[in-house]
Structure 1
């Protein structure tokens, strides 16, 4: 390990690291990643390639990404605290920050939403167990916004989030939760995610204040910059490689021909008690992006949104463009098949958002008081959403359960 460039920086242990989006942002904020872990082999190959390339950390003179980082391929359940400490460190060593986002599919609207009943939904307990062993000064936890209203098996909306907060409190950590939209911090993507800060023996960090707004120019948000649009973003990107370009073929040409930007081909959903005509939406693989807005959330699928050029030609966003929308440097060469690359990209934390969070963690480490912190109350909107979800479940729960049973029978 290069001690001159790494040991002098605050330390980070990264769990469920994926392709490294969270680590990019935290290293830009000044942290050194001591160890990083993921179960996915292609993610680990990506991180190994990053180490080989020695990619400079933007804003950190002399630092390269994942310099000397221990890369640990395997499940979080198989890890011990000693695996995550620097080589030769004793049992008293503790990182400044433990960060990660356990798999989000059980709670995501893009998945089956089985929540804690899905084995992956319990992986946060492994995160808590390792936090208890390592006793980091601060914790950063990330997940999908669906976690705010995710139900425990007894049907309580918000029960999973309460369980997560309770689990961290039981090992001595106070918590603070918030939903943040990456577009509000200058990213060219409307990506809303749930974040948690936790502290054991110092002030709880505050979340960063937005720097951008959809309504910039309104007198109430006059100091904020306007959102960065997808059109602005694409104008600064190199021409996509021909092998990365996907254009519509067959029936798709007709289906997409008359779409207005910001709309897609409708998909009829489940007929529900309060929606007798069906709960429809747009098909995820047939949506035409609005270039005057930030991109929609980048998903872990090979069917990103379509974009239309000035001459009317249609193509999908390429995997390299999606990676850039997620804040990955151009030198960050993702490994594996195209499908794996899209999965790594869509599952990542947006790196520019992570850098803003990292700055708040860094402020706490450098200037925070040594105190016994108390958990912050839920943001007011969390309580409203939990109550609405409970009411809505009473109205449509039986319809949805029947529909799920039909889908599972159909395979």
Structure 2
């Protein structure tokens, strides 16, 4: 089978490119404005070139020169233009947010590279922001460049990721190939959903604020998922607990697995939450349940934001635990301060989802080959 090539725009730490790599793609280059994410990408993608800085300051020719490709030779241009302008967590979201227009920069690079395939990922909020203006603009922009395009909402948990995560994925090609979407692998009638226990059960325990540095695993492998993410790793990196104040420790002691702020005695609640309706803030101060999936991993796994309390330890989850929930392999180490590591993990496409997308793309690409070429490609 052909060794497909890919470039990853807005690559962050490289979750999507790691998934494509697992599917057999050769990652040629990445770009991101975040220096900490760039450092992680460079450390984990030694085969790829990294172009730092704003996409506004780069041209398609920069990527062509860097990779030695000619226009039209690249197999796949991947990318996830920053999504904060569309996120439902951004209460001022909309098309007035300048981040809502970064997809135009993606399309500018597409026009200069004319790859065979496009893969673009974003939050589901893009479908409603500006009354759907951005979503329709992306579709129209891709079609105007001569591509056939489809978009779907994919659920990460359907592909083995231990997390409830919804994202819009755009897939497009200009080669007349069918667009093949990845088949679900987990759920009813399929493999069981991956649980928090499957993901985190072998990691060493920590106390609130504890940092053991690089440390040994807490136990032997206890699930197929752990075996997969461990690979050949012998030690655990990026596994230190944030220091939470005494009042938060008091609050946690009242929260059972699957519980939330509703389980905290009224006099211990933060002032703002004492005025909240019980139907509000459903994930705040949530404690994970061993046998369920995580809520969406955000760029800040703060217990004030969501269900980021460890199932049975009185602390919030670590960067490594967030990375496990995102399906990053354990050898994938995150650079920069811990707050920036959380940002990198939360912004990423889960590599396992990226792998499934890459495998579907390869199937579709094979279907586009003429009969003699198909026989050559498979022979």
Deviation at 1:175, TM superposition (A): 1.0
Q: Does 1:230 align with 2:196?
A: yes
Does the CA contact (< 8 Å) of 1:82 and 1:91 recur in 2?
no
Deviation at 1:205, TM superposition (A): 1.9
Deviation at 1:92, TM superposition (A): 3.5
Work out the number of aligned pairs and report it: 327
TM-score, with normalisation over the residues of structure 1? 0.74
* Cα distance between partner residues in 2 of 1:282 and 1:230: 19
Deviation at 1:250, TM superposition (A): 2.2
Q: Does 1:358 align with 2:364?
A: no
Q: Does 1:178 align with 2:152?
A: yes
Q: For residue 303 of structure 1, what is the aligned residue in structure 2?
A: 302
TM-score, with normalisation over the residues of structure 2? 0.80
Q: For residue 108 of structure 2, what is the aligned residue in structure 1?
A: 129
Does the CA contact (< 8 Å) of 1:229 and 1:291 recur in 2?
yes
Q: Does 1:40 align with 2:34?
A: yes
Structure 1's 280 and 81: CA in aligned 2 closer, same or farther, altered over 3 A? same
* Cα distance between partner residues in 1 of 2:111 and 2:166: 28
Structure 1's 202 and 238: CA in aligned 2 closer, same or farther, altered over 3 A? farther
Of residues 225-234 and 138-147 in structure 1, the stretch that sits farther from structure 2 once superposed is: 225-234
SS of aligned partner of 1:226: coil
Residues 196-232 of structure 1: CA deviation (Å, up to 9, x unaligned): 101112223221121111xx3xxxxx3x111111022
Residues 288-336 of structure 1: CA deviation (Å, up to 9, x unaligned): 1122211111110041600232xxx422111111112212221222111
Matching of residues 164-313 of structure 1 within 5 Å: 164-213=138-187, 216=188, 222=189, 224-239=190-205, 242-243=210-211, 244-246=240-242, 248-265=244-261, 280-282=280-282, 284=284, 286-303=285-302, 305-309=308-312, 313=313
Q: Does 1:13 align with 2:16?
A: no
SS of aligned partner of 1:194: strand
CA RMSD for the aligned pairs? 2.5
Q: For residue 324 of structure 1, what is the aligned residue in structure 2?
A: 324
Q: For residue 234 of structure 2, what is the aligned residue in structure 1?
A: none
Deviation at 1:278, TM superposition (A): 9.0
* Cα distance between partner residues in 1 of 2:260 and 2:278: 17
Does the CA contact (< 8 Å) of 2:175 and 2:368 recur in 1?
no
* Cα distance between partner residues in 2 of 1:283 and 1:296: 8
Residues 169-201 of structure 1: CA deviation (Å, up to 9, x unaligned): 111112111111111111111111110101112
* Cα distance between partner residues in 2 of 1:102 and 1:253: 37
* Cα distance between partner residues in 2 of 1:308 and 1:81: 47
* Cα distance between partner residues in 2 of 1:356 and 1:90: 26
Deviation at 1:88, TM superposition (A): 7.1
Matching of residues 73-92 of structure 1 within 5 Å: 73-85=52-64, 87=66, 89=68, 91-92=70-71
* Cα distance between partner residues in 2 of 1:92 and 1:283: 47
Matching of residues 312-391 of structure 1 within 5 Å: 313-369=313-369
Does the CA contact (< 8 Å) of 1:302 and 1:338 recur in 2?
no
Structure 1's 126 and 265: CA in aligned 2 closer, same or farther, altered over 3 A? same
Which 5+ residue runs of structure 1 have no aligned equivalent? 1-7, 51-64, 152-156, 217-221, 371-411
Does the CA contact (< 8 Å) of 1:106 and 1:112 recur in 2?
no
Deviation at 1:167, TM superposition (A): 1.1
Matching of residues 96-175 of structure 1 within 5 Å: 96-151=75-130, 157-175=131-149
